[in-house]
Amino acid sequence: MHTILRLICIVMCSFTAQVVLGNQAAETLLKDAEARARTLNSLSARIELSWESPSQSLRRSAGTVTLMKPNFALIKLSGDYPLVTLAADGRSRYLFSEANKYSLAAADAKGKDIDTPWWAFPVRFFFTQSIRPFGPDSPPWTSSRDAGMETIGGKTYRILEITGDKPMAYVARFYFDRNKLLCRSVVRFGEGEKAPVFTAQIEDVSTTGRLRPKNFKFNPPATARLDTGAEKKMLAIGDRGPEFSLPTPEGSLLKLEIAKGKKATLINFWYLSCPPCRAEFELFQKLYADLKDQGFTIIAINTVDQGKDIASYFRDNRFTFPVVMSERDGPGVIGAYRIETYPSSYLLNSEGKIVYRAVGVDEAGLLRSLKELGLRPKP
């Protein structure tokens, strides 16, 4: 019995020693990589990103990254990733989710907000030396280990693996080259076969370029529009548009009847003293005239003006698409559709699901969405 206990103790002690040694090796590798990253002032490379899950086929984006400390960046991608361009000029950070739509924010002094695109750890690590998947201030991982060596594309990497359970389970592997530069990351979020996997790889890396702040000077294209943030608060693409019944300026009621022979319904929120609201009404009238016989309709919802003023404006400009009025106070349809800025629009398909949304005038986006639903206005 004593012999068995001694054997168990020996095995357990040996296992504990291996774990400690493994953790020490992982900690040493990470410290060496952090020290290496802190010595770098600039980095330029090609980047490839991908993510995969059983419900979604493998999707990729390729592009370039140019980075300089403390907070300068230019990332350009082509492909399916939900980012086209990230530009940080030291003062401002521009994020283009589409070619002609961007958000604007103050740049973090230490580059902490240059962590987009999602899970591109070679970019994040350059600025913050953080490998916590949910950001530098998120909970620490629960275990780490030196996962040995692996050769990919003729290059050999040393691998650090971490696992954690907050805010969700994950396993992350980080690949460092012989110079302790983080070149690849593979992160699995969740457990089981349905867990998505995100991969980032940088190649043709240069850390000796002579970059200056002027190299990152950036001006958005004249055709691009600023997303004020109101659009992010709107109902999401794929949500069902809430039904309503609202009075017209003439006193009758108009109901949102989505599935009755309509391929698409454009719901627009506006008021008379809003210049961009009035600017897009000529487009709406043309679309309505061209497409109403093909199953398209418009409901313009005014939340500010009196019925007689709305009727006069429509009559004077010969607008014939439907217009209704909503209460100014209380949640009502404004609350249901989460409207904060004017003009704002939703396009619903024949099932009543949102396929397009916009704050401001977005003719190209609307026409593209109509085309996807099989509706083509006359040239």
Least confident of 96-100, 191-195, 240-244, 262-266: 191-195
Tens digit of each residue's pLDDT (9 = 90 or more) over 12-30 = 444 343 444 458 999 999 9
Supply the DSSP string of 190-244, one letter for each residue: SSSTT--EEEEEEEEEES-----GGGG-----TT-EE--SHHHHSPPTTPBPPP-
Q: Where is pLDDT greater, at 371 or 259?
A: 371
Residues 6 or more apart from 21 whose CB is under 8 A from it? none
Report the amino acid identity of residue 36: R
Question: Which ranges in 90-229 belong to alpha helices (H)?
Answer: 121-128
- pLDDT greater than 60 at residue 233: yes
Query: Over 70: is that where the pLDDT of 261 sits?
Result: no
Q: Looking at the predicted structure, is the pLDDT value of residue 215 above 90?
A: yes
3-state secondary structure of 118: coil
Looking at residue 243, its pLDDT comes to 85
Per-residue pLDDT of 42-76, as tens digits, reads 999 999 998 876 655 667 889 999 999 999 999 99
Tell me which amino acid residue 205 is.
V
CATH of range 230-372; options 2.60.120.10, 3.40.30.10, 3.40.605.10, 3.40.50.150? 3.40.30.10
Distance CA 259, CA 241 (A): 12
Q: Is the pLDDT of residue 326 over 90?
A: no
pLDDT computed for residue 204 by the predictor: 97
In CATH terms, 17-224 corresponds, of 3.30.70.1430, 2.50.20.10, 2.170.190.11, 1.20.210.10, to: 2.50.20.10
Average pLDDT taken over every residue of the chain: 85
Residue count of the chain, please give it. Answer: 379
Which pLDDT does position 18 carry in this prediction? 40
Q: What is the pLDDT of residue 284?
A: 92
Q: Tens digits of per-residue pLDDT, 347-378?
A: 999 888 999 998 877 788 888 899 888 888 88
Q: How many angstroms separate the CA atoms of 347 and 358, rounded?
A: 9
> pLDDT tier at 87 (50, 70, 90 boundaries)?
very high
Q: Distance between CA atoms of 51 and 162, rounded to whole angstroms?
A: 19
Q: Which class for 307: exposed (0-12), middle (13-18), buried (19 or more C-beta within 10 A)?
A: middle
Statement: residue 9 has pLDDT above 90? no
17-224 and 230-372 share one fold: no
Strands (E), the chain: 42-53, 56-68, 72-79, 85-89, 92-98, 101-106, 143-152, 155-164, 170-176, 182-189, 197-206, 225-226, 245-247, 253-255, 264-270, 296-302, 323-325, 344-349, 354-359
User: Taking 60 as the threshold, does the pLDDT of residue 144 lie above it?
Assistant: yes
Share above pLDDT 90 across residues of the chain, in percent, rounded to a whole number: 42
This prediction's pTM? 0.60
Q: Per-residue confidence at 331, pLDDT binned at 50, 70, 90?
A: low
Domains of the chain, by residue range, sit at 17-224, 230-372
